[in-house]
Structure 1
Amino acid sequence: MISRLLATSSFTATLASALPGLVHAPHSSALLARSSCSGNTASTRSQWCDYSIDTDYTTEPVDTGVTREYWLELTDVTVSPDGVSRSAMAVNGSIPGPTIFADWGDTVVVHVTNSLSTSLNGTSIHWHGIRQNYTNQNDGVASITQCPLVVGESTTYTWKATQYGSSWYHSHFSLQAWEGVFGGIIINGPSTANYDEDLGMLFLNDWDHQTVDELYSSAETSGPPTLANGLINGTNVYGEDGDSSQTGTRLAVSFTSGTSYRMRLVNAAVDTHWRFSIDNHTMTVMAADLVPIVPYETTVITIGMGQRYDIVVTADQADVADNFWMRAIPQSACSDNDSTENIKGIVYYGDSPGTPSTTGYDFKDACDDETANITPYISKTVSSAQWNDLETASVSRNSAGLFKWYLNSTTMLVDWAKPTLEMVTDNITEYESDDAIIELNEANQWVYMVVQTTLQVPHPIHLHGHDFFILAQGSGTYDSSTVTLETDNPPRRDTAMLPSQGYLVMAWETDNPGVWLMHCHIGWHTSEGFALQFIERKSEIASIVSTSTLEDICTKWEEFQGDYSIEQEDSGV
């Protein structure tokens, strides 16, 4: 059975008028589930067809026999999401791009066409958090699993929705993800909390009136630039409230009293750590990344770059006011933004939104994590490790005076035209030190990895191809003799914060053959080389790769790069 779909979330569908110059492709805003699926109602969200929230998808695979097929086209656009016009890149004409929907157990096929015209860009699309079990070639990382896709060409990614919940896709070529090449992924399935309506994706982005490509030279020479603004699902105002020169439009979300709403938060920023809240309302958090968790309540949630949280908010404040601020607050401890207090949307009761007069919750400005609150619903225990690797993050200037990040004393510098996956299939066994490769050749063994830094900068660490267990996370230098590792059902996710002047202890199993990237999800830092890669179960990789597809994309890229004299100016990923 093949279902051909192009859809967006309810939030995104309301934004067409807020993005001048963008043409939205036809879509349905419905959250689409298989007609044969039953049991998942507003009061029984823990049920899903023949399965439930108690089903462990890591040991009991789900297969619907359904294929969901999508077409995405990348184009250059002119946008004014906060009322100030600038160039950008879009997916199917919108920022954020269309949301991809699937059901738990579906196969997802996405055809991507590179129609970028003005900047001679290659591209690749990464499906953030999707495990890609035995589908490593579809991870979509330039220089790692493929060569960049050239302008005028298309490629197809195929992967299985083995997990369920909320995630996003984004370009993994240069800084394109923060030029607008991103969108949501919703995989329908059970949840640990009940709710009435699903409002879909809610993206939090930082934004500037210069492009990130224009700002990159400043990031390399002077450190992270201060950005001008932020967006909530692709829109916001620019300028002071009450000032006649203020431009743009705020996101407005209608609440019906007594109704509970699911929202799927994504931090899609290049370099902003957010605190998110809705004045007077309490959030029930039920998933972290694509991992269902034991629900907990909070009024303010902290979210690092690349992280996702599924929350439920009940509309129970109509007797207090008609309008409430929805706030995305940059944390000044690690994020520089000129609009620290005016990145806001409006939640309203009634027929139309007004200007709220509500007051935000108190919080401590910090770039920490929700780790202490996270208990995975499906309990797992971490066994003894077979490896014990210690990686240190640092930064310095190279001979050209440019900032470069080092991980394990290496700045990653991989070649667009020579992806690691192709080296593996060509049976190349010698790698350059700046490929930053660690080989993990034993199957189904535990890996422990400690990443630490002495610098006063926190980092969101993202691992491809796996969820990892957070065994420890704290300030100071990691000392195995004094730090107690949490191995009994520790938090697990695909992105977690390395604290400022601190350490992050991670663990995962070698259960997925492939070449997998691990990197800081601050866009500047990825481009400046804060990354390494794992070749996992090398002897099994060639058998799961289509070498003809790999070679075809690379041949076209080499010709394209040569014809247009395109120079690689960043890490390659």
Structure 2
Amino acid sequence: MDGMRGSLIIDDPDGYPYDYDEDVTLTISEWYHELVAPLTKSFMNRYNPTGAEPIPQNLLWNDTMNGTWAVEPGKTYLLRIINIGGFVSQYLWMEDHEFEVVAVDGIYVEKNITEYLYITVAQRYDVLVHTKNDTSTNYAFMQAFDLDMLDTQPKDLVVNATSYIVYDESADMPGEYVLGDVDYLDDFYLVPLDVEERLPQPDHVITIDVVMDNLGNGVNYAFFNNITWTHPKVPALATLFSSGDYADNVTIYGSNTHSYILEKDEIVEIVLNNNDTGKHPFHLHGHAFQVIERGGDYLDSAEPVPYPTNGTEGFVEPKYPARRDTLYVRPQSYFRIRFKANNPGIWFFHCHLEWHLVQGLAMVLIEDPMSIQKFQSLDDAWYENCDSAGVQTEGNAAGNTNDFFDLTGENVQVKALPAGFTARGIVAMVFSF
């Protein structure tokens, strides 16, 4: 989030399936006046017992504010929109223009016209924008924070920002343009252009519950099934390549890495239950998954609403599900995603809110480990980088090279709070100092 970032555009060798005259890349993000290191220090602190995320000061549009996009009349632009931020989702809209969505996360989709886009961090949208024939007027290009994701709204927070679609540089620039209550595009209903029927019932179901809670040091962490991801002493790839026949035994990868072994070509479904009152965009490395179901918004519910084990009443799974690699879950709700384990590798599945990744909201999918050993390798540069950083490159998660099932000394999460210690008690303890 401090700025070491950019756009990587990969052209399809078969050409783009939709016609356009010119392509333009637009990155959006948020900006903090402080660097991440000091923000993290105050965030992961017992004096922040509720886990309130640091709030940015403003929004960026191609790494600037009040940006300009010079357009020509009567043209079709392919606008590649990338949210390269680390925290807050954004709404986008344009004055007197429309987005014609044609791709999400690199997956071409049937055209879908909308006035309003909702884009979480790490998501990408390709849209066609058709410019007007008249050049007498310039138009506002708006972006706004999803304020539901913020615990508070400080006075220095810029809530929305205006950039400009410029037809005539000598004409006046517009003021902000505010839309009424317009529904934004629901990505669940996007149909891939290269249709793929819903994968069959899964061979392997991974059910994970998202919880934000405090541990014994008073700090607020994020958990999948009561495990907050804790960095192993040896990277999982190094453990895999140094473990021989043990590589397909999940134990060696550590008790606090929340790892799963996936067998070659099995159908995997992840059921994610969000017990938190916030939205979370989750990202899977190595795959574009099918979106089988996303539950509603249950923020006003007294309790979270998990995925029912007998299926959701009245819901029909789509025949041709949307596919992408980053999907948000609604407050106190759930989603189901499905993919085929046909890409051997070690893949992270995590919340793409950087603050929640710092808190440990991640798990590891170790896909077809024996194929990785057989057909892949780590080059000298990889080992040299680890050596220069003081990272061990052999052994299990604890660094044990003699007995891969002995995890003595591994990195583990902080011990739990004493039984009966409530969140209210934590706050009282903090403010008693």
Q: Calculate the TM-score normalised by the size of structure 2.
A: 0.80
Larger Rg: 2
> Which among 558, 566, 569 is matched to residue 390 of structure 2?
558
Aligned counterparts, 1:425-504, within 5 A: 425-427=241-243, 429=249, 430-440=252-262, 442-475=263-296, 476-483=305-312, 484=315, 486-504=317-335
Instruction: Tell me the secondary structure at the aligned position of residue 343 of structure 1.
Output: strand
Map Cα deviations across residues 66-99 of structure 1 (whole Å, 9 max, x no partner). xxxxxxxxxxxxxxxxxxxxxxxxxxxxxxxxxx
CA distance, structure 2, for counterparts of residue 454 and residue 469 of structure 1:
23
Instruction: Give yes or no for the alignment of 1:227 onto 2:49.
Output: no
Q: Which has the higher contact order (CA 8 A, sep 6+)?
A: 2
- 2:147 alignment partner, SS class: coil
C-alpha contact (below 8 Å) 2:145/2:160 kept by paired residues:
no
> Per the alignment, do residues 508 and 559 of structure 1 end up closer, same or farther by CA in structure 2, a change over 3 Å counting?
closer
Q: 2:140 aligns with which of 313, 316, 325?
A: 325
The AA in structure 1 aligned to 2:142 is: R
Q: Deviations over 1:306-345 (max 9, x none)?
A: 10000111112737x6221111100111146654444221
**Greater fraction strand:** 1
Q: Deviations over 1:154-182 (max 9, x none)?
A: xxxxxxxxxxxxxxxxxxxxxxxx11111
**Which residue type is aligned with residue 55 of structure 2?**
T
Give the match's secondary structure for 1:482. Answer: coil
CA distance in 1, matches of 2:273, 2:317: 17
1:281·1:317 contact (CA, 8 Å) conserved in 2?
A: no
SS at match of 1:355: coil
Structure-2 change in CA distance of 1:353 and 1:533 (3 Å):
farther
Aligned-residue identity in percent:
23
State whether residues 384 and 446 of structure 1, in contact with CA within 8 Å, keep that contact through their aligned partners in structure 2: yes
Give per-residue Cα distances to partners, 1:171-194, cap 9 Å, x unaligned: xxxxxxx11111111122333432
The alpha carbon displacement at 1:438 in A equals 0.7
Secondary structure at the counterpart of residue 554 of structure 1: helix
Counterpart AA for 1:519: H
Whether the 8 Å contact between 2:224 and 2:362 is mirrored in structure 1 is yes
Distance verdict in 2 for CA 1:481–1:340, change over 3 Å: farther
The alignment partner of 2:8 has SS state of: strand
The 3 A distance-change label for structure 1 pair 318 and 570 is farther
1:180-329 residue pairs with structure 2 within 5 A?
Answer: 180-189=3-12, 190-199=15-24, 201-221=25-45, 222=48, 223-236=52-65, 250-316=66-132, 318=134, 322-329=137-144
Q: Structure 2 vs 1, CA of residues 282 and 420 (structure 1 numbering), >3 Å: closer, same or farther?
A: same
Q: Secondary structure at the match of 1:525?
A: helix
Partners of 1:461 and 1:278 in 2: CA distance: 27
TM-score (normalizing by structure 1):
0.61
CA distance in 2, matches of 1:261, 1:315: 8
- For the residues of structure 2 that align with 1:348 and 1:411, how far apart are their CA atoms? 48
Deviation at 1:213, TM superposition (A): 1.8
In structure 2, the residue matched to 1:515 is 346
Distance in 2 between residues matched to 1:559 and 1:468, nearest whole Å: 32
* Whole-angstrom distance in 2 between the partners of 1:297 and 1:364: 13
Does the 8 Å contact 2:138/2:167 carry over to 1?
yes
SS at match of 2:292: strand
Aligned residue identity for 1:324: Y
| Structure 1 runs (4+) greater than 4 angstroms displaced | none
Q: Is the 8 A contact 2:222 2:361 kept in 1?
A: yes
> Paired residue for 2:377, among 545, 561, 566?
545
Q: Which amino acid aligns with 2:261?
A: E
Q: CA deviation at 1:360?
A: 2.7
2:347 and 2:176 map into 1 onto residues whose CA distance is: 46
Superimposed CA distance per residue, residues 246-277 of structure 1 (whole angstroms, 9 cap, x where no aligned partner): xxxx2111122211111111111111110011
C-alpha separation in 2, matches of 1:457 and 1:317: 43
Question: Match of 2:367?
Answer: 536
Whether the 8 Å contact between 2:116 and 2:185 is mirrored in structure 1 is: no
3-state SS of 2:39 partner: helix
User: 1:492 is matched by which residue type in structure 2?
Assistant: R
Distance 1:355 1:369 in 2: 28
1:388 equivalent in structure 2: 205
Classify 1:570/1:426 alpha carbon distance in 2 versus 1 (closer, same or farther; 3 Å). Answer: closer
| Amino acid across the alignment from 2:308 | D
Instruction: Report the Cα offset of residue 299 of structure 1.
Output: 0.7
Q: Deviations over 1:102-159 (max 9, x none)?
A: xxxxxxxxxxxxxxxxxxxxxxxxxxxxxxxxxxxxxxxxxxxxxxxxxxxxxxxxxx
How far the C-alpha of 1:526 sits from its partner, in A, is 0.7
Alignment deviations for residues 407-460 of structure 1 (CA, whole Å, 9 cap, x no partner): 122100113x521000000115423211110111x2111101101112211100
C-alpha distance in 1 between matches for 2:412 and 2:185: 29
Unaligned 5+ segments in structure 2 are 297-304, 393-410, 414-433
CA 1:279 to 1:537, structure 2 compared with 1: closer, same or farther past 3 Å?
Answer: same
The Cα shift of 1:369 comes to 7.0
Please tell me whether the aligned partners of residues 192 and 286 of structure 1 are also in contact (alpha carbons under 8 angstroms): no
Q: Which residue number corresponds to residue 14 of structure 1?
A: none
State the Cα distance separating 1:196 from its structure 2 match.
1.2
- 1:220 Cα deviation after fit: 2.3
Instruction: Find out whether 1:334 has 2:149 as its counterpart.
Output: yes
Q: Distance in 2 between matches of 1:423 and 1:390?
A: 25
Equivalent in 230, 235, 240 of residue 413 of structure 1: 230
Query: Would the aligned equivalents of 1:516 and 1:533 in 2 still touch at CA under 8 Å?
Result: yes
Please tell me whether the aligned partners of residues 324 and 348 of structure 1 are also in contact (alpha carbons under 8 angstroms): yes
Q: How many residues are aligned here?
A: 367
Partner of 1:351: 169
> How many angstroms apart in 1 are the aligned matches of 2:100 and 2:92?
13
Paired residue secondary structure (2:6): strand
CA spacing shift, 1:369–1:392, aligned 2, 3 Å: farther
Tell me the CA shift for residue 547 of structure 1: 5.2
* CA deviation profile, 1:334-364 (whole Å, cap 9, x unmatched): 1466544442211111134633036332246
517 and 353 in structure 1: CA distance in 2 versus 1, 3 angstrom threshold: farther
Q: Aligned equivalents of 2:278 and 2:291: distance in 1?
A: 19
Q: Which residue identity lines up with residue 354 of structure 2 in the other structure?
A: G
